[in-house]
Structure 1
Amino acid sequence: MHNPEHPYKIIVMGGSAGSFSVVSGILSKLNPNFKIPILLSLHRLKHVRSGLSEGLSLNSKIKVLEPNDKEKIEPNRVYLAPSNYHMFIEIDGSIALSTEESHNHSRPSIDYTLMSAAYVYREKALGILLTGANKDGAKGLKSIADHRGYTIVQDPVTCDIDTMPKSALQLFCPDEILSPTEIVQFLNSLQP
């Protein structure tokens, strides 16, 4: 179980195919006063600029927004990587957006967001990898583990497409393998 001596300062959740309904379900069941900022890196259509954040906002008890470049990360917020942008965390706790080349055929790249969280927050980072159809996110989640952060992989049997979580499981052993319901219970246990 997580170490209460090291409360997490950031949560990065990544997913691809099938992840919208999982993320929507998680956000709908989180405590409304959940303070730890959540960064979402979800594979999405490049040329569809809106709809995803609005869809997630419908059931979320926490404000969901697409950040601007250099926006400071605030508590009790969910930051969704904008369409066709990589989302990084800067050392000063702000968000950097980039249009660098696609990584694993994806922009935003889950790996990039997770790796930047690992670098900035080290053992205070919590990474969660959800259902998806490619390997993006596996190396990034391992980077969180390598920096002594906490790692959760969605149980492949609960995934629409299990390529993404299985890719992580082939690389390393995460701290937890949980169903979406168990992920919600875990997150809500992090604070009173």
Structure 2
Amino acid sequence: MTFKLIAIGTSFGGLNALQVILSDLPENFPVPIAVVQHRHKDSDCRLRALLQNYTNLSVKEAEDKEEILPGSVYLAPADYHLLIENKDKTVSYAYFTLSTDAPVTYARPSIDVLFETAADAYAEKVIGVLLTGANQDGVQGLAKIKARGGLTIAEEPSTAFCPVMPAAAITAGVVDKILPLEYIALFLVNICNL
């Protein structure tokens, strides 16, 4: 299986979780990563700068109509939903769309929006990862990824700064793998370098 995208969703406690994962990914990691981190609508680009300190991959805020390329970590900009689209449905050319549609599960950017559009664009070639957080955002999106044949991962709640979000996904039965935070990057490297 050749995966085309890793979609990561996180909320409360997410900065530390993302630092742990990104610091353990090699600079030649072959699969692009799209991240929704819940943050205040007025937050600036400090999240990108902070995360860049922990990885040799390129960390950037996604731009509207930007092509999704390997070797990059794309962050949903503050106060925008991050969507994945592809023109030909063969996943050979996929790109981001930014939206100011209403918040979903009280959040914009919404993890569910990223996950659901990634499932539509990539089907079985997407991996969804749900990390620490204090609400239910991401559960419906993981369900759609799983239904389309993609791989779903949740952080082991006992390692999460706030276990509510991953625990909700596990309870909903939409998670293929439950992994402690410190093992997620290694698992991704192993399955993406096949």
Interval of TM-score (by shorter of Structure 1 and Structure 2): over 0.9
Displaced runs of 4 or more, over 4 A: none
Amino acid at match of 2:149: R
Q: Distance in 2 between matches of 1:32 and 1:75?
A: 11
Find the partner of 2:73 among 50, 74, 78.
78
* Alpha-carbon spacing, 1:73–1:167, altered in 2? closer, same or farther (3 Å): same
Amino acid at match of 1:162: P
After superposition, residues 148-187 of structure 1 pair within 5 angstroms as 148-187=149-188
CA contact (8 A) 1:139 1:171 kept: no
SS at structure 1 position matched to 2:86: coil
SS at structure 2 position matched to 1:90: strand
CA contact (8 A) 1:114 1:127 kept: yes
Count of aligned pairs between the two proteins: 187
Q: Distance in 1 between matches of 2:43 and 2:184?
A: 29
Q: What percent of counterpart residues are identical? A: 39
> When the two structures are superposed, what TM-score results if normalisation uses the length of structure 1?
0.95
Q: Distance in 2 between matches of 1:160 and 1:57?
A: 21
Amino acid at match of 2:40: L
CA contact (8 A) 1:15 1:110 kept: yes
Amino acid at match of 1:124: K
Across the aligned residues of Structure 1 and Structure 2, the Cα RMSD in angstroms comes to: 1.0
| 1:49 to partner: Cα distance | 2.1
| 1:94 to partner: Cα distance | 0.7
Amino acid at match of 2:188: L
Structure 2 residue aligned with 1:3: none
Structure 2 residue aligned with 1:22: 17
Amino acid at match of 1:191: N
Post-superposition CA distance 1:38-77 (Å, at most 9, x none): 0001101111122101110111120000021000001110
Unaligned runs of 5+ in 2: 88-93
Amino acid at match of 1:105: Y
| 1:172 to partner: Cα distance | 1.5
Post-superposition CA distance 1:87-118 (Å, at most 9, x none): 00012301000001111110000000000010
Q: Distance in 2 between matches of 1:43 and 1:100?
A: 16
Amino acid at match of 1:150: L
Structure 2 residue aligned with 1:133: 134
Find the partner of 1:10 among 5, 11, 14.
5
> When the two structures are superposed, what TM-score results if normalisation uses the length of structure 2?
0.94
Unaligned runs of 5+ in 1: 1-5
Post-superposition CA distance 1:6-65 (Å, at most 9, x none): 221110000000111111111111011001000001101111122101110111120000
Q: Distance in 2 between matches of 1:49 and 1:101?
A: 20
